Structure 1
């Protein structure tokens, strides 16, 4: 038997008075977090919500998220995290598709949530506005964890929907436990650590690699509901955060802010970058400015987060996403499904298998079957391995640009663009072209105080990449469209 909520119960037993959650309103100890989630579990059980019942949870990074999350798990129910930025039709799709029995939402998005619930045929959602008292029941002793099998579904986490409607990946208690335990051991997390938690907890990266990981090892979570560089840096200083998990756009914004403002980040001992490839120039600049190593990893919603990781500052290989974590296998395949040898010239699709892969897409057996090939999960990401087994991500297979019969990997061109002193952010996409099939287009955000022209950008790239790779089209924007996790939405650019 294994219920993922055991990670909270055990940490509370070991360190009842230690801080579990730090936030703008104060601190919650492990004993308090355990008791408050017990109250939620008791309330759910009283409403007939039990083993296997999906419960939708739509909250930002506030204390009520972990309180409700672990309460749902304790009751044996299934957590369905919902993005707070979704509109009513998107909410309705996830509620219907998951079969949610109950919906917990935040006062800040209650209007859209109510419309989404009505469209899905659910009762009005429970609204969290400063507390979760409405969905709490008095408890006089610890709520007994509902027995679950390791392979039972603990969470249904929806993909970003880059190809059609989002699908719900079923992640098990064992997968989520291992994806907290293994990565935490790799960078030697300790109970004294403070994990700066600004990654949205409704996304698998924040949920698994920040929240579950921190709770598993009895560390403190320092919650930031919304990313701004000034707020994150101020919170690092206030709570003496030691670990920061982020995505490349966050690191870029932090660097730009720190170049003009004083900030104390001396408490940090390690940063983790995931969600997207971090440009080499940005990684180097962050490490130099903040004096802390960045460990890059790679994962997906369908793999409960982590597939590969750079295993500690001493063993990492900069610019790679590291090696497969314990119990996980990764291969590089060509289009015919044959394994490719190591080497930069042997770029193919990354496939993976192990305990970390999802049970499947909830309610979509055909899509599940399509995602697997001979037991291997097809990631849709292109990359290669070096002779020592370190993996390098080149691009998404669907974002590959074929210009006049030649393959152009957007990330390679983006790396070149980021080396231009006048470029703050950049994305490369393929646009239709009658003669060549696709043309290479760069979308650029200028660095403050710089004003490069389109010819400047083209010339910069032309001197550094092959003739078929450099962008002929350049568009300047004030900002790039980002997902709720800070990932560039290339589908909106293309």
Structure 2
């Protein structure tokens, strides 16, 4: 048996050749055009010496070239290694070395840093994308040169085993050096096909892609899903509320997928009323827990339902999901998708019963769980217990099988012997109308071990004192949970995917 994930593109091109696959500003590419371009790119990779099983670094923003290169890499039988465009040379070099990459595909905006990292890693094969408006660079091979190589005869897609690695996604490295999660062709197909069917993605959907494609959420849950069901993607290279709202209006976007900070920014945007967002039919949130107040306010303001899901890089993205407005448990992350099991374990490895009083670590096994960490058998072994993957997330399950994520295990605050979950405190903070962003962390305290501190960014034009916020939160949660320390900032630091960077705070 053989299967290549790129089959989802060839099949959609066969069934919908003239359907617009990608919108990028004023440019539109059909499924037939993307399929043919990725065929040529695969041929170009082979001419550059890339062979089946070779990892290829893919460091591009949300551009059509990302889509073409991604499927070209897969068609050539190589392994895609998505990389953050904001990485510095040392970070680039680390991932290139760790994955054993043979080539790095980058773009002119970061070519100098990419070239330094590639040189440090001993990777001499550098391919550079240049887009209009950017200065030309003499670094590396132009992307177009690989596209100029026509296949000798009918395009041939390499046929790997379904269990072979298709993509290596690196973790964020919050607890040490990033680790490369190896995801297979079969896992990624299942994580496109199953959620897409559950959610009801249609070929007439226009789906916003503002999350970076090098992140597992966008790669697996948006790009792969869109291509599997021949939907249209509209690419936005960087999140900006005005750009996103203008794109929704221009392209009649039907599905918005984002992380909580994006929903907060759109909801609080002072110019929101200037845009027509009536085409939206649904919102999808993931990447981090979304505050309950944000869900309520956004749904009321935009007139759509937000469906929340849960997953990790190691689980090929989707693990649990609220599949529809009719079959959801608001504030939960839904139920496990087909082929996936989730349990809640205590610290002794015992399965906990349902109920909010039984909080433990979420454990996952199923078709979506990675093969292991690239070249790191020790970390791979530590990540599993009896075939179950340790997510590092704390949560509980209710009587109907809906899961609720409470917080990251490592972010748990223990104040004077009491467990405090930052998300619960953040939810209380977000109920104040002046708050735009909030993050709660534990800071060292000589008496209590840890004290609770809140970092807060306010909505434009509104004022709030620390004492007023503390009083507001104190009225809503137990006395040992409210923050004693509050620090206001103009904005909170976020990752390229829009998650608040608590480790910096």
**TM-score (structure 1 length as normaliser):** 0.98
Aligned residue number for residue 134 of structure 1: 145
Q: Distance in 2 between matches of 1:266 and 1:139?
A: 44
How do 1:204-283 residues align onto structure 2 when only pairs under 5 Å count? 204-257=216-269, 260-283=272-295
Match of 2:492 in 1: 480
Q: Is the aligned partner of 1:105 residue 2:106?
A: yes
Match of residue 22 from structure 1: 23
Counterpart for residue 83 of structure 1: 84
Whether the 8 Å contact between 1:157 and 1:204 is mirrored in structure 2 is yes
Give the structure 2 partner of residue 419 of structure 1: 431
Shift of 1:461: 1.4
1-side partners of 2:203 and 2:388: how far apart? 36
Residue equivalent to 1:395: 407
Q: Mind listing any 5+ residue stretches in structure 2 that lack a counterpart?
A: 132-141
CA deviation after TM superposition for structure 1 residue 249, in Å:
0.3
Q: For structure 1, which segment, 141-150 or 55-64, has the greater mean C-alpha deviation from structure 2 after superposition? A: 141-150
The yes-or-no answer on 1:40 pairing with 2:52 is no
What is the SS of the residue equivalent to 1:92? helix
Q: Is the 8 A contact 2:309 2:320 kept in 1?
A: yes
1:306 to 313, 318, 323: 318
Q: Is the 8 Å Cα contact of residues 74 and 143 (structure 1) preserved in structure 2? A: no
Cα distance in structure 1, aligned partners of 2:310 and 2:272:
31
Deviations 1:359-391 (A, max 9, x none): 000010000000001100000000000100000
Task: Give 5+ residue unaligned stretches, structure 1.
Answer: none
2:416 to 404, 412, 433: 404
- Work out whether 1:359 is the aligned partner of 2:360: no
Pairs aligned (count)? 493
Q: Cα deviation per residue 1:17-49 (whole Å; 9 max; x = unaligned)?
A: 110101113100011000000011001112221
Matched-pair contact (CA < 8 Å) for 1:335–1:348:
yes
Select which of 328, 331, 343 maps to 1:331. 343
Alpha-carbon distance, 1:64 to partner: 0.1
In structure 2, the CA distance between the partners of 1:74 and 1:99, relative to structure 1 (3 Å rule), is same
Measured against aligned partners, the alpha-carbon deviations of 1:386-442 in whole angstroms (never above 9, x if no partner) come to: 100000000000000000100000000000000012211110000000111100000
Aligned residue for 1:7? 8
Counterpart CA distance in 2 for 1:134 and 1:275 is: 36
RMSD: 1.0
User: For residue 116 of structure 2, what is the aligned residue in structure 1?
Assistant: 115
1:197 and 2:209 are equivalent in the alignment: yes
- Taking the aligned partners of 1:79 and 1:184, their CA distance within structure 2 comes to 22
Distance 1:43 1:124 in 2: 13
Separation (CA, whole Å) in 2 of partners of 1:242 and 1:222: 11
**Cα deviations across residues 434-489 of structure 1 (Å, max 9, x unaligned)?**
11110000001112222111111111111211111111111000111101100011
1:343 counterpart (347, 355, 368): 355
The residue that corresponds to 2:187 in the other structure is 175
